[in-house]
Structure 1
Amino acid sequence: MSAKSGELCVVCGIPAEQKCSACKSVFYCSRQHQKSHWKVHAKKCSSYKLVANEVLGRHYVAIRNIAVGEIVLHEEKALVEGPPLETAPVCLGCFVVLSPDSAVPCIKCGWPLCRLCRNHGPECEFTIKYKDEKVSITDYVFPHPTYRCITTIRALHLRDTKPDLYKRLLNLEDHAELQEKSSFFTPRLVAKFIKRFFKTEITEEEIAKVVGILQVNGHEVPLTEPPHIAVYDVASFLEHSCRANCSKSFNNKGGIVVRAAVPMKKGDHITICYTDPLWGVENRRHYLTQTKFFQCMCERCKDPTEFGTMYNAIKCWNAGCDGHALPKNFIETDGDKRLDWTCDKCLSEKSFEEVEEMMERIGIDLTQMKKNDIKCCRTFIQHYGKVLHDNHYYITDVKLALAQLIGQQGSGLPGVSDELLQEKISLCKSVSQLIKSLVPAENRILGLVLFELHAAIAEFGRRLDPGELIAALLESKRILKEAYELLSYEPEVLPEGKIAAQALKNLRDMETILQVMHQNLNMTPM
C-alpha cells in the first residue's frame, strides 16, 4: 500500500507509511528514522491536553482516540518522595522498617539508616544546614513524630537546589485551609514543628502550603515495605473517578506509568481512582472528602445501582419479597436528613440510620473475623448473604479472600476436593465479572483473580477424561493469557510482577502440554 499524499517522513521527506503509534500524527520511512527523531518528537507527542473549569479545576482530556493498553502518561521520576506523615522509624535510604539493632545513624546528620545504606535524601544536607546538632532517634516501637517532617523538608530542599521544580510543586493544589479544619495532623502543626526543629528562614505559611500539597497529591508507591509517598508533576493533574478509565502502575525505579484500561474517544476525561475502588460508595466519598477535600460526583457515585451491579444493595426485609433496597441516590439529602432506602419490588422503606447501623455491625464482624480461614469466610457469606445482595461490597470482599484462600493451604490445589475446587472456580468467575463491570481499570486485582481461576480450571481439568481435559486446558490458557496481559506491566519487585513472570512460564508449559496431547490424540489445540 503506497503512502498517501502528505504522508512524508519527518526526517528525510520521502513518502512514508509508518507513523508514531501514540499520537499517529508523524510519519517515518524507517524504524531508524523514528528512533533518531524520538528526542524531538517526544516533547510534542501526547494523547491529552490540560484544561480547566470551575468545578474540576485542572484536568486532562483526550485529544485523540486512545486504545486499551496505550501509555497515556509516563514520568520517570517524582518531584519528591519520602515516608508518609505517620510512620515508624524507617531507613531514609531504602524505607525499610528499623529496629534498635538494625539502625545505624548517618555520620553526617544522625538520621538512622539500615546497615546496607550509606546515603539518603536531601534531609541530610537540610539538617546539616539548619540544625545545630545531629538528629537522635531512640524510640523504634511506635510511629515517630519526628518523621512527619522528612518528606516536607525534602520538598523544601528543592527551593534552593532546583527552583524550577520547586515552582512546579507549589503550582499544585494544597487545600491547606480545609486541612486545618478536618485533619488531625494539620499542615500548620507540621510547619510549626519544622520551624522549632530547624533554624530555617522559610515562613510557616510556605511550609504549611508544602505540607498540604504533599497530603493532597501524594501517591502511595508500593515498591517498598512499607510503601512510601511520591508526588509527581504531570500525574498530579489526573482527574479522579471511582470508575476510572486508566490504570496506574510504577516501574522498578519508582516512575509512574498510566495506561488506558478502556477505549477512550477524543474529548473523554482521563481519570484514575484516588481511593480503594472496592469500597462501598459511602466509604469512598467519605475518604475523598476527608483526604482530597472534594465531594465525588463521578458517574458511579451518582448511580445508586453502580451500573446495575447493586454493589451497595441490601435484600428486602419483608418476608416473601425478593427485592433489593437502595436509596434514590447517595448524594442528595432531604434537608439535613439522608434519603431513606426503598425496596425495588414492594416499595417498603427503611431509614438511612437503620441501614447505617446494620452496615456498622456487619463491618465490625468483618474486621473481627478470623483471617485466612476458609470456614469463617464461608460462614460470613452464608450468614450475611441473607441480608446483603450477592454483589454487596462486604460479600465481595470476603468472596475475593475466599477465592484466593482455597488451594493455598496444605498440598495446594491437588489436595482440594472437587466441591471446593468448583466453589473456587465459581467465586473467581463471579468476582472477575463484577470487577470488569464495576472497575475495569483495576488490572492488578483482576489479573490476580484470573490467575487463580486459570489454575483452578486446569486442576479440575486434570481430573476429567482426556477429551474434557483438553477443553479445560484451552479455557485455562485463554484466561491465563488475559491475566498475564493485565499483570505484565507490573514491576518485578511487586507480588503482581512475580505472578506475571509465573504466568508467562505457565503459558509456555501449557503450550507444550497441549502440543504433546495434540500429537498423542491427533487433535488440534485452539
Structure 2
Amino acid sequence: MAHTIAEKIHTQLMAYLEEVSQPLWTIKPSKLGGRGLFALQPIKKGTLIFKNKPLIVAPRTDRAGDCYCTVCHQVNKACRPCELCSLAICSEECKTSKDHDTECNFITTNWKPKPDSVNDIHHPEVLARMQIYLRFLLLKKDHKLLLTFLQNNNEGKFLELEMLHRRHVVPDDQITFMKLVHSIININSFRIPNNPLDGKIPLRGLYPLSAFLNHNCVPNTRNVFYPDYTMAVYATKDIEVGEEILTCYTGLLLCTPARRCFLYKSKHFWCKCERCKDNTEMGTKLSALKCFNKECVGILLPTSPLNPEAEWCCDNCASKNTPDEVRTIQSILGSLVGSLDLDDQFRLEAAILARLANFIPYSNHIFIDLRLRLALKIGFTEGLKLNELSESRLALKENLCRGTLRTLAALGVGDAHLRGLLLYHLHAALAERARRSPDLYEEIKSEIESTIEQAYIILQGDISAPPDLELRRRYLGPGCDKPQEERFFILDA
C-alpha cells in the first residue's frame, strides 16, 4: 500500500519537477514523522538534488498591511484598491492582466460582501491576507490532489478566514477547502528570500517535493530560489545511501531553547536532533547564560536540553538554577534586544549592550546574531560603503565574518547559504584591504580568490545573492588573467 501511495505522489509531482530523469531521492516513511526524502545513492557535497516549481506563490500574510501590488508584488505607495474586487493594484497594466482578471472575477462571483462591510477601510487588507488561499481555490482539480499527500495540522486559529467571513458570505465548500489549505501551508510552506533591490514584498510558496523535507537543526541541504521562484535543493555535505535528506526550518544560529520553542509554536513538534540533545551545541555554547553568582566566572547550561523543566548548572561552581529563574532572565534579555536599534550599526546603545553582558557570555546566540548583523551591514550601508570605511571598521568587518564562520563550522552545517553570504562579505573586506594597499595583494590573493569562489558556488543563481557576485568572481576570483590594477577597477567603480 505504501508503495502505491509513493507511486501516486511521484506521478503527481512530475509536473513540478525539472530534474526527473534519474532521481537521487525516494519518498518513504520517516522516523521523524510522516514521510520524508531519502538518498537512493551517495550524494556528494554541492550536488543538485532536485528542483521544483511552486504550486502557489503569494505574499506573506504578515505583510498584508504593507502597500503593495497583488499582481506584480511590487511595494508601491501608488497602489489603489480595484473598484470591483478591492485587491490592491499599482497600474493599468496590472489591473488588466490575466492574473488579476481571474482573481477579481472569482471574488466578485463567490465572495459577496455583507451590507455592513461595503465601506470597510480594512477590506483590501483582509483580501490581501486571503490571497494565498484564493490562489489555492483557483488551482485545477488535479493540482489540488497533491494537497492530499501532504502533512497537515489543524492546531491554531485561522484568523484570516474569520476576518473574511465577518465581511463576506463565503460558500461552505470553500471554507472547508481553505481550512485544509491553512493546515497544510502552516507547516509546509517556505519563505522565499527577497532581494531589497527588487522592491518586492516578501513571498512564500508551497513546493510539492520540498514539502517532504523534514527538519534537522544541522541540515544536510541548502535551498536556492531562482528569479522565477523555482526552488533548488543542494547537498551541503556528503549524504550516504538511505540517509534522510533534511532541511532546517529555523535560523541556524538560534540557541536550542529558541529553536525548539519556535518549532513547537509554528510547526507543532519538539525537535530531538543530536544538536538539541547536546547542551553545548557542538561546543558553540549558544544557549549559555552567565552564572547567577556574581563572584563566579562560569556559565550556565541546561542539564537536560530536551526537557524545558530541567535545571541549569554552572560549569565552574556547579550551582544550579530552576527553569523559572532561567526563563525570567531570558524574558529580560528579549526585552533588552527588542529595545536595540539594529539598523544603526555603529551606535548600538552601549548601556543596553553592557546590561546584556551582565547576563550572557559572548558565545550566546544574541551576541552572535548582533555580530552577524554588523558583519553584513558594515560597508554595505547607503552613505557608508566599503571604500569609505576607516581601517578599524574594515578590520572589524573582517573579524566579525571570521568569528561567525567559525561558529558555523563548529555546528557542522557545511556549505549553508549563510556560510556563502559570510564568505562573500569576508572577500569584500579582504579585497578592499588589497585595493588600499596594493603591496598586500600577493600576500592575501589566495584568500581573496578562494572566498569569492566558494561564495559563488554556494550563492549563484539565488534571488537574494549580492548583485556583484558574478562580477567579483570574474575579476577577483581564481583564473583571472587581468593585471592587478584592472582587477580592482570594479571596486573603484
Whether TM-score is above 0.5 comes out as yes
CA distance in 2, matches of 1:272, 1:439: 14
The aligned residue for residue 308 of structure 1 is 283
The aligned residue for residue 25 of structure 1 is none
Deviation of residue 430 (structure 1)? 0.5
Q: For 1:94, what is the secondary structure of its paired residue?
A: coil
| Amino acid across the alignment from 1:129 | T
Further displaced range: 237-246 or 205-214: 205-214
The aligned residue for residue 82 of structure 1 is 58
User: Aligned pair 1:252/2:232, yes or no?
Assistant: no
User: Aligned pair 1:366/2:343, yes or no?
Assistant: no
Deviation of residue 413 (structure 1)? 3.6
Change (3 A) 1:315 1:506: farther
Deviation of residue 256 (structure 1)? 1.2
Whether the 8 Å contact between 2:41 and 2:241 is mirrored in structure 1 is yes
Task: Choose which of 131, 142, 153 in structure 2 pairs with 1:175.
Answer: 153
The aligned residue for residue 427 of structure 1 is 400
Task: Choose which of 411, 426, 439 in structure 2 pairs with 1:438.
Answer: 411
The aligned residue for residue 93 of structure 1 is 71
Deviation of residue 351 (structure 1)? 2.3
Matches within 5 A, 1:33-72: 43-53=20-30, 55-72=32-49
| Amino acid across the alignment from 2:473 | L
The aligned residue for residue 203 of structure 2 is 228
Whether the 8 Å contact between 1:240 and 1:272 is mirrored in structure 2 is yes
Whether the 8 Å contact between 1:127 and 1:198 is mirrored in structure 2 is no
Deviation readout 1:395-449 (Å, 9 max, x if unpaired): 1111112223433465644443433333322211101121233262674322222
Change (3 A) 1:233 1:434: same
| Amino acid across the alignment from 1:155 | F
Whether the 8 Å contact between 2:38 and 2:243 is mirrored in structure 1 is yes
Change (3 A) 1:279 1:144: same
Q: CA RMSD in A?
A: 3.4
The aligned residue for residue 500 of structure 1 is 469
Matches within 5 A, 1:198-213: 198-200=169-171, 202=173, 204-213=175-184
Please identify the structure whose Cα radius of gyration is greater. Answer: 1
The aligned residue for residue 491 of structure 2 is none
Change (3 A) 1:301 1:499: farther
Matches within 5 A, 1:100-139: 101-103=78-80, 105=82, 109-115=85-91, 116-117=93-94, 118-119=96-97, 120=99, 122-131=102-111, 139=121
Deviation of residue 194 (structure 1)? 5.0
Change (3 A) 1:172 1:389: same
CA distance in 2, matches of 1:261, 1:385: 34
The aligned residue for residue 364 of structure 2 is 392
Task: Choose which of 50, 60, 73 in structure 2 pairs with 1:73.
Answer: 50
User: Aligned pair 1:471/2:407, yes or no?
Assistant: no
CA distance in 2, matches of 1:54, 1:205: 30
CA distance in 1, matches of 2:153, 2:172: 23
TM-score (norm: length of structure 2): 0.82
Q: Per chain length, whose mean CA-contact separation is higher, i.e. which structure has more relative contact order (CA < 8 Å, sep 6+)?
A: 2
Matches within 5 A, 1:155-166: 155-158=136-139, 162-166=140-144
Deviation readout 1:31-64 (Å, 9 max, x if unpaired): xxxxxxxxx9954511111111465111111111
Further displaced range: 352-361 or 246-255: 352-361
Deviation of residue 252 (structure 1)? 0.9
Deviation readout 1:447-479 (Å, 9 max, x if unpaired): 22222212222333456572x431123322222
The aligned residue for residue 270 of structure 1 is 245
Q: For 1:325, what is the secondary structure of its paired residue?
A: strand
Point out where structure 1 has 5 or more consecutive residues left out of the alignment: 1-39, 519-526
Q: For 1:61, what is the secondary structure of its paired residue?
A: strand
CA distance in 2, matches of 1:222, 1:238: 18
User: Aligned pair 1:490/2:466, yes or no?
Assistant: no
CA distance in 2, matches of 1:133, 1:320: 66
Q: For 2:191, what is the secondary structure of its paired residue?
A: strand
Task: Choose which of 109, 133, 155 in structure 2 pairs with 1:152.
Answer: 133
Task: Choose which of 343, 346, 355 in structure 1 pairs with 2:317.
Answer: 346
Q: For 2:328, what is the secondary structure of its paired residue?
A: helix
Alignment coverage as a number of residue pairs: 457
Change (3 A) 1:381 1:70: farther
| Amino acid across the alignment from 2:302 | P
Deviation of residue 128 (structure 1)? 4.0
Task: Choose which of 245, 248, 269 in structure 2 pairs with 1:294.
Answer: 269
Deviation readout 1:180-199 (Å, 9 max, x if unpaired): xxx4x35xx71784597245
Change (3 A) 1:499 1:282: farther
The aligned residue for residue 37 of structure 1 is none
TM-score (norm: length of structure 1): 0.77
Whether the 8 Å contact between 1:473 and 1:510 is mirrored in structure 2 is no
Deviation of residue 363 (structure 1)? 2.4
User: Aligned pair 1:454/2:427, yes or no?
Assistant: yes
CA distance in 2, matches of 1:465, 1:251: 37
Further displaced range: 384-393 or 352-361: 384-393
CA distance in 1, matches of 2:41, 2:212: 18
Task: Choose which of 324, 343, 352 in structure 1 pairs with 2:299.
Answer: 324
